[in-house]
Amino acid sequence: MSKIRLAMVGGGQGAFIGAVHRTAAWIDGQAEFVAGSFSSNLEKCQQTGQDLFLNPDRVYATYSEMMEAESSYPEDQRIDAVSIVTPNHLHAAPALEAMAHGFHVIVDKPMAFSVDEAIEMEKAAREHNVLLAVTHTYSGYPMIKEMKHRVENGDLGTIRKIYVEYPQGWLSTGLDLEGQKQASWRTDPSKSGAGGAVGDIGTHAAHLAEYVASSSITHVAAELGIHIEGRRLDDDAAALLRFGNGATGVLMATQVAAGEENTLKLRIYGEKGGFEWSHADPNSLLYKPLDAPLQILRTGNGYLCEAAANASRIPPGHPEGYLEAFANLYLEFFQAIRDHKAGTSMKYDFPDGVDGVHGLQLIDAMIRSSQSEQKWTKVERYTP
């Protein structure tokens, strides 16, 4: 056995999420990056390759060149998979090309620029028999897995209410209009797609709620807003929700909650109690049974389910964070790759192509709802 061999598309200097993907891949010693096409700026691309101690021969000016060249390496040297960490409008093309060459793909969220692109990607993965993963990071946290497990187990009884919120404040000023890189592409409809905040963080929030509840949002009553003169995409969204399991709820996702950092929070209530998880304290899960004291379940303890136990690396009281949660998605992806090689298969715990399509459908429904005078808008539901 050897380490998984990865290539990266995007993630050159000045990028944010590329470095996160790399750390997530490295942290458990299971994989190495051996190739990359990091930037359309060749110098930047080569510099990144050097920073990563790559063989210069495997640092490519374009992803197309990379797919071609890597295919020609012997099987025990060529890349296994490609991490795609470019802005949204550059997800589908490299992903489709990678899959066509038989490489597995792990792509940042939202999976694509549009619903149509997303569907094309999902179909391609099946056609070429490769794995397609989408990094909805937050489902990688151990206590989220515990929460999902206990909801599935019926600890709350019938689910009644689901509240998910994702307040950020970093777009409170016109950063995007001043050319700040992360802000600019995220508010540019030609790069981000039709959704701004609703795509960037709303999809995270929605995915987390649906993942934990094991149920999809079927209808939304949404309002999106823009709070900076000249900004072109929504920086703020809120919606009343209806879920397939009969629960109702509220989603809030905003990037103009000045002073907020990144405090995604999920609360689920059923007949018998509630759960609450906040990204501000990700190693704790609040369990609120009806008529008994609140309990704080904590990462690393013996009383957790197998999925939560496996998603944690260190003993109780040793905080784990965002990078470890991200790495858990990669670990599952790596296991799937190894099993794929071995010809075996199972259900893997990472968001896949169908989840990715659904994310785009949710963005679409939120936008349509916001423009509608009708209270409720149906969320389309893709099934392969």
Q: Which of 71, 190, 214, 372 binds a second copy (CB under 8 A)?
A: 372
Instruction: For residue 219, give both structure tokens.
Output: 């209808």
CA 295 to chain centre: 29
Which among 7-15, 87-95, 254-262, 355-363 is the span making contact with a second copy, rule CB under 8 A? 254-262
For the segment 258-317, give every residue that binds a second copy (CB under 8 A): 258-263, 267, 269-274, 279-283, 287-298, 300-303, 313-317
H or E stretch covering 168: none
H or E stretch covering 360: helix 353-371
Binding mask 168-187 for a second copy (x = CB under 8 A): xxx-xx--------------
Q: Does 56 bind a second copy (CB under 8 A)?
A: no
Of the candidates 179, 177, 268, the residue with the CA atom closest to the CA atom of residue 229: 177
H or E stretch covering 242: strand 236-243
Binding mask 185-224 for a second copy (x = CB under 8 A): ------------------------------------x-x-
In this complex, which beta carbon is closest to a second copy, that of residue 12 or of residue 282?
A: 282
C-alpha span between 200 and 153 (Å, rounded): 31
Which among 18-26, 72-80, 110-118, 336-344 is the span making contact with a second copy, rule CB under 8 A? 18-26
Q: Are strands 31-37 and 4-9 parallel, antiparallel or unpaired?
A: parallel
In this complex, which beta carbon is closest to a second copy, that of residue 302 or of residue 343?
A: 302
In this complex, which beta carbon is closest to a second copy, that of residue 270 or of residue 356?
A: 270
CB of 27 to a second copy, least distance (A): 5
C-alpha span between 209 and 221 (Å, rounded): 16
CB of 128 to a second copy, least distance (A): 27
In this structure, how many other beta carbons lie within 10 angstroms of the beta carbon of residue 164? Answer: 28
Which among 58-66, 89-97, 98-106, 367-375 is the span making contact with a second copy, rule CB under 8 A? 367-375
CB of 144 to a second copy, least distance (A): 13
State the number of binding residues for a second copy (CB under 8 A): 93
C-alpha span between 107 and 134 (Å, rounded): 5
H or E stretch covering 182: helix 181-186
Q: Which of 73, 185, 322, 382 binds a second copy (CB under 8 A)?
A: 322
Q: Which of 15, 21, 26, 336 binds a second copy (CB under 8 A)?
A: 26
Q: Does 155 bind a second copy (CB under 8 A)?
A: no
Amino acid at 92: A
For the segment 105-144, give every residue that binds a second copy (CB under 8 A): none
CB of 276 to a second copy, least distance (A): 9
**Is the distance from CB of 106 to CB of 135 less than 8 angstroms?**
yes
Q: Where do we find the tokens 């990688």?
A: 140
C-alpha span between 225 and 233 (Å, rounded): 8
Q: Which of 236, 332, 355, 364 binds a second copy (CB under 8 A)?
A: 236
Instruction: For residue 360, give both structure tokens.
Output: 């785009």
Longest dimension (CA), the chain: 65
C-alpha span between 26 and 339 (Å, rounded): 20
In this complex, which beta carbon is closest to a second copy, that of residue 129 or of residue 371?
A: 371
Q: Does 250 bind a second copy (CB under 8 A)?
A: yes
